[in-house]
Amino acid sequence: MLESEYQEQNRFFLNMGPQHPSTHGVLLIVLEMEGEYVLDPQPVLGFIHRMHEKMGESRPCPGFMPNTARMDYVCALPYNHGYVSLIERKVGIEVPKRAEYIRVITSELNRIASHLLWLGAYLLDLGAFTPILYGFDDREHILDILESVTGSRLTYCYYRFGGVYQDIDDKFVEATRAFIKRLRKRYTIYEKLVTKNIIFIKRTENIGIVSPDMALRYGITGPNLRGSGIAYDVRKNEPYSVYPEFDFEIPVGEQGDCLDRYMVRVREIEQSLRIIEQALDRLPDGPVRSKVPKNIKLSPGDCNFAVEAARGELSYYLVGDGTSTPYRLKVRVPSYSNLSCLPELGRGILLPDLVSILGSFDLVIPEMDR
């Protein structure tokens, strides 16, 4: 028997998902396999597609606010932030300083919650059960804090055009400070449990290396890009809100493997804590919402606003036509571009490594499918 015939006979297709535990939602990956090696992984999207863009184009712009939280439900506040900032830029609404500070504090808290959830879920993918319990324990504190001001635990709709829905009180500030103190104490636990764990390192080091050129060709952003050593963060690169007023660093990795992506996210938690601390120290007084027209008219012309969500660059692109309903609303979500490199990245690797790569990308499926 010829070798090519032998290989042909040993190839088979394997459906990973849409209910596979390591895809964190309804993502199907059709794998062409040879033994335990993956030859061609092809993601199949659209299982939870809801056509958010059409909804954005068929109602006046305030009506789209709740939708923004239902794309990336794990880190919804930056999605709120991008949309309100887009309309504010388009219409020319000034935002009070205190409101911007509150936006930054709550967005960063949400980012930490997202990274903690990812940390637990990723380790669960790799076969470690315990870290998710610690991660969820810490995340619960953030959800409680955010619930006290936003009224919801996951799908927030807290920001408004020209400000936020309601002011934060002393209790919120106190609880946030207590949380910062608590989380810093927990670092050592995570370090002992995960970062220095030899099994974890073996499963992630030198696995799924994303080169800078590959990142550029696919438009990869966020921690997945920074793991490859490129210090690109919309908060620094294209500053918005009051981020330029804070002192924080952009953690980067070295070679872009799964371990680098893990380390970048873990170090980002500390940077987010630093931003929150500075914002609480310098929180200005004043109103949290400016007067805006009841009937917001979007003038003709297009407008773009990019923010840094927990998974990378989130871009809203809007075309106005003089009415209050957007003529066209495009949402560029980070996970969509991030995952699109999988067919190239996952060629010729072992199946368990594919699980490790998928987890390290921090995918949120409702965000990709929109």
> How would you label 129-159 residue by residue, b for 16+ Cβ within 10 Å and e otherwise?
eebbebbeebbebbbebbeebbeeeeebbbb
CB nearer to other proteins: pick between 268 and 313: 313
* Residue linked to tokens 């200005």: 284
Work out which of 217, 284, 287, 347 binds other proteins, going by CB under 8 A.
217
Radius of gyration over every alpha carbon of the chain, rounded to an integer in angstroms? 21
What is the CB-side half-sphere exposure of residue 249 using CA atoms within 13 A? 10
Q: Minimum Å distance from CB 364 to other proteins?
A: 15
Which helix (H) or strand (E) element contains residue 13?
strand 11-16
CB nearer to other proteins: pick between 204 and 228: 228
CB nearer to other proteins: pick between 197 and 340: 340
Work out which of 18, 20, 33, 62 binds other proteins, going by CB under 8 A.
62
From 184, 175, 120, 121, select the one nearest 147 (Cα to Cα): 175
Binding-site residue total for other proteins (CB under 8 A)? 62
Q: If binding is defined by CB under 8 A, does position 292 make contact with other proteins? A: yes
Q: If binding is defined by CB under 8 A, does position 227 make contact with other proteins? A: no
Q: Minimum Å distance from CB 207 to other proteins?
A: 21
Q: Minimum Å distance from CB 123 to other proteins?
A: 29
Q: Minimum Å distance from CB 340 to other proteins?
A: 5
The site map against other proteins for 343-362 (x = CB under 8 A) is -x------------------
Work out which of 172, 200, 305, 361 binds other proteins, going by CB under 8 A.
305
Q: If binding is defined by CB under 8 A, does position 66 make contact with other proteins? A: no
Q: If binding is defined by CB under 8 A, does position 309 make contact with other proteins? A: no
Q: If binding is defined by CB under 8 A, does position 91 make contact with other proteins? A: yes
Of 16-24, 155-163, 173-181, 253-261: span binding other proteins (CB under 8 A): 155-163
Are 343 and 41 a contacting pair, CB within 8 Å?
Answer: yes
Q: Minimum Å distance from CB 216 to other proteins?
A: 5
Token pair listed for 359: 């987890």
Spatial separation of the C-alpha atoms in residues 223 and 213, rounded to whole Å: 16
Of 29-37, 140-148, 214-222, 348-356: span binding other proteins (CB under 8 A): 214-222
Spatial separation of the C-alpha atoms in residues 38 and 12, rounded to whole Å: 10
Spatial separation of the C-alpha atoms in residues 108 and 185, rounded to whole Å: 19
Q: If binding is defined by CB under 8 A, does position 31 make contact with other proteins? A: no
Q: If binding is defined by CB under 8 A, does position 299 make contact with other proteins? A: yes
Which helix (H) or strand (E) element contains residue 264?
helix 258-281
The site map against other proteins for 239-278 (x = CB under 8 A) is ----------------------------------------
Residue 211 backbone phi and psi in degrees, to 5:
-80, 155
What is the CB-side half-sphere exposure of residue 269 using CA atoms within 13 A? 27
Spatial separation of the C-alpha atoms in residues 365 and 339, rounded to whole Å: 10
Q: If binding is defined by CB under 8 A, does position 319 make contact with other proteins? A: yes
Q: What is the largest CA-CA distance in the chain?
A: 81
Residue 361 backbone phi and psi in degrees, to 5:
-80, -10
Spatial separation of the C-alpha atoms in residues 106 and 145, rounded to whole Å: 9
* Residue linked to tokens 């946030």: 176
Task: Please state the separation of Cα 185 from the chain's center in Å.
Answer: 25
Q: If binding is defined by CB under 8 A, does position 15 make contact with other proteins? A: no
CB nearer to other proteins: pick between 153 and 217: 217
Are 56 and 67 a contacting pair, CB within 8 Å?
Answer: yes
CB nearer to other proteins: pick between 203 and 289: 289
- Interface ranges with other proteins (CB under 8 A): 45-46, 49, 51, 53-54, 57, 62, 86, 89, 91-93, 160-162, 215-220, 225, 230, 232, 237-238, 289, 291-306, 313, 315, 317, 319-322, 327-328, 330, 332, 336-337, 340-341, 344, 369-370
